[in-house]
Amino acid sequence: MRVTVPRRLSFTGRVQLTAYGLALALLALPAEAQVTVDISKITCNQFLFGKATDSRTLSIWLNGYHSGASGKTLIDPNAMGERALIEYCIANSEMSVLNAARNVLGVAGNGR
């Protein structure tokens, strides 16, 4: 009976094996796809429960969007009235958050 003794991998072999293992591990990770969100379709209910995107981020985006639409180049982060938008959305959960923000900010919109 012939017994073979496993030989030790060289340094280069160990580096290659480690690299292959790392590559396989990275391939197993789920890739995050880019997501496009149509803001006009997000309802107040989705906004309130963070179903479409992070509510804080969306509030800041809406503030900037409406500032730009009204020609303002300066924004006051506290002026959006995130609390006012939340309260408005609680009372109007099926309305689009874009129209709710227009109503809270007093910006003319298309009323969708």
* CATH number of the domain that residue 70 is part of: 1.10.890
Instruction: Please report which confidence band the pLDDT of residue 11 belongs to, taking 50, 70 and 90 as the band edges.
Output: confident
Q: Tokens in use for 86?
A: 């939340």
From residue 30, alpha-carbon distances to 21, 25, 51 in Å are 16, 10, 21
Give the position of tokens 């789920």.
Answer: 30
Q: Which domain holds residue 61?
A: 40-105
* Segment 28-85, tens digit of pLDDT: 666 566 677 788 899 999 988 888 777 777 877 887 787 788 787 776 666 656 788 8
Cα separation of 107 and 100, whole Å?
A: 10
Residue 50 lies in a domain: yes
Residue 2 within a domain:
no
**Within-domain flag for 74:** yes
| Number of compact structural domains in the chain | 1
Domain membership of residue 14 (yes or no) is: no
- For residue 99, tell me if it sits in a domain: yes
Classify residue 5: in a domain, yes or no.
no
Residue 72: inside a domain, yes or no?
A: yes
Distance CA 96, CA 83 (A): 17
